[in-house]
Structure 1
Amino acid sequence: MAEHEMIGTSRQSRIMAHFLLVIGVIVVAFPIWYVFVASTHPLQQILRPPLPLLPGAEGPSNYARALGGGIGQIGRVGVDRLLLNTAVVAFGIAIGKILISMASAYAIVFFRFPLRMVCFWMIFITLMLPVEVRILPTYKVMVDLRLIDTYAGLILPLVASATGTLLFRQFFMTIPNELMEAARVDGAGPWRFFKDILLPLSATNIAALFVILFIYGWTQYLWPLLVTNSNSMNTIVIALRKMISFADADTPWDLVMVTCVLAILPPILVVVLMQRWFVKGLVETEK
């Protein structure tokens, strides 16, 4: 009797858990679906609520206009150019942060040099500095180096990562000394030890950090706003802000919705494609 009651309670718990999960998915996914539906309707339909909940027939023409450079509010720059700019920035920031973080953590953990821990704490202390404190001096450096409206100006000031250095340092400290000694006996130098041993062991950590940093770079707003003046160098987030006017009649909401859909697709694809590695990198404790 008790066993049947336990089975019934367990089944009810699973049903309730799935019900809450479905509700959560609907709450999260409905705004995205609404934006997609709006991107397939003409501007007049969007300005005249209520908006239908099913896609319309204007989708292909709206997407063709957006990708073909039909957005006057951003200087007739196509969304394809905005996506390229944003992808270059996101990949550059993610890859740059990972490389610099791994290199700095590798030096701090595996090399003995004067003021080693002082260097680490100087890196760590930068976490406590607000962005506003650093952004004006950084902008002045970019102006002096003539890196305004360049990919280098968008990427280089954001590639240093104290958080990434800390995470890789904590992981490298779990590497047993016996592994280093065995590599040294086999004649492996510092570069070979890093490339053949540490890099493969860090694969899940790199994947998890890449997903986080890619989304961080993709959604950057303040720094691209300061360091770009040309519409052709804008990221997609900055372009979205420029497209929206205070008056609804002056805002091409159909093209805004198309740009929103295209803006959220790459981060979703990165998370979906790297989900297994991302979760493994977050929860895996034994290396």
Structure 2
Amino acid sequence: MVEKRSWLTVLTHVILILGVIMMFFPIYLVFVASTHTLADILDAPMPLLPGSHLWENYSRAFTEGSKSLGASVSVMLINSLIMATGIAVGKIVISLLAAYAFVFFRFRFRSLFFWTVFITLMLPVEVRILPTYKVIADLHLLNSYTGLILPLIASATATFFFRQYFLSIPSEIVEAARVDGAGPMRFLFDILIPMSRTSIAAMFVILFIYGWNQYLWPLLITTEERYYTLLIGINRMLAVGDQQAEWQLIMATTLLAMAPPVFVVIGMQSLFIRGMTESEK
């Protein structure tokens, strides 16, 4: 018999509520600061209730940007979306094809090639970033969407994830496809990919957030404002030297930078959970 302790339930909920407040209070402060003027923010103590300049600050940030930055949030938002989506789609396509080859094709040194790919997980980005920059510079891909996306579309993590999923597919399905006369490409596109849709959706969420949060690589290869991502834009808005940073616009940009990943997670929540916990076979 399980003994129910009401005081323990209350204590657990109190701890959870306090944890939620601690996590969301900084985000609330960012929102409050984005609704006030710069004078209100600099005036100690800063207001803890939203102000009346929300539309003014967000419209200015979205259409004009700060004085220290030559790009608006709308331009940087599009750049970040293109980069994050391109990285996520590119990683998924390459990883699917690589995992498909490792699982369903027989060739010499197959295990060696797979573990060679897997070992690249042990190499941090900083180790290979200078040679990667040299290659991109020699190909004249600096300040371009191709330069932002191409070096980051290989993924050992996604390859390993899809390989493990493909290994769990019953051999009867493969044999049935062969009996029906399905070739390798038909088996991949008509059977394997539809079966893997929840896994692909789960990986897309992870890789989209990975691409959206990229900072070091865009910082290195973008020098023109029209190719700035949101994270780079926020950094440039802070680098004002002796001038006063426009904190109300910085906070508005920060909140706008948080919105797309949140929408992706919320919109694909059910597929993400199913892809991480279930197998559709």
Give TM-score scaled by structure 2 length. 0.95
Counterpart of 1:202 in structure 2 is 196
Partner letter of residue 65 of structure 1?
Answer: R
Counterpart of 1:74 in structure 2 is 69
Counterpart of 2:100 in structure 1 is 106
1:279 to 1:150, Cα distance in 2 relative to 1, 3 A: same
* Moved beyond 6 Å, runs of 4+: none
Q: Is residue 250 from structure 1 mapped to residue 238 from structure 2 by the alignment?
A: no
- RMSD in angstroms over aligned alpha carbons? 1.7
Matches of 1:285 and 1:99, distance apart in 2: 20
1:210 to 1:112, Cα distance in 2 relative to 1, 3 A: same
Counterpart of 1:59 in structure 2 is 54
Shift, 1:286, TM fit: 7.0
- Name stretches of at least 5 consecutive residues in structure 2 with no aligned partner: none
1:138-196 deviations in Å (ceiling 9; x for gaps): 11111111100000000000000001101111110111111100011111111121112
1:248 to 1:198, Cα distance in 2 relative to 1, 3 A: farther
Q: Is residue 177 from structure 1 mapped to residue 171 from structure 2 by the alignment?
A: yes
Partner letter of residue 47 of structure 1?
Answer: L
Question: How many percent of aligned residue pairs carry the same amino acid?
Answer: 54
Shift, 1:12, TM fit: 3.8
Counterpart of 1:25 in structure 2 is 20
Counterpart of 2:271 in structure 1 is 277
Shift, 1:55, TM fit: 1.1
- Name stretches of at least 5 consecutive residues in structure 1 with no aligned partner: none
- Give the 3-state SS of the residue equivalent to 1:149 in structure 2: coil
Aligned length: 281
Matches of 1:97 and 1:286, distance apart in 2: 22
Shift, 1:217, TM fit: 0.5
Shift, 1:63, TM fit: 0.9
Partner letter of residue 193 of structure 2?
Answer: L
1:223-264 deviations in Å (ceiling 9; x for gaps): 000111101101110111111147685211011001001000
Shift, 1:198, TM fit: 1.3
Matches of 2:195 and 2:12, distance apart in 1: 36
Which of 207, 217, 222 is equivalent to 1:213?
207
Give TM-score scaled by structure 1 length. 0.93
Counterpart of 2:258 in structure 1 is 264
- Give the 3-state SS of the residue equivalent to 2:154 in structure 1: coil
Shift, 1:67, TM fit: 1.1
Q: Is residue 48 from structure 1 mapped to residue 43 from structure 2 by the alignment?
A: yes
1:249 to 1:148, Cα distance in 2 relative to 1, 3 A: closer
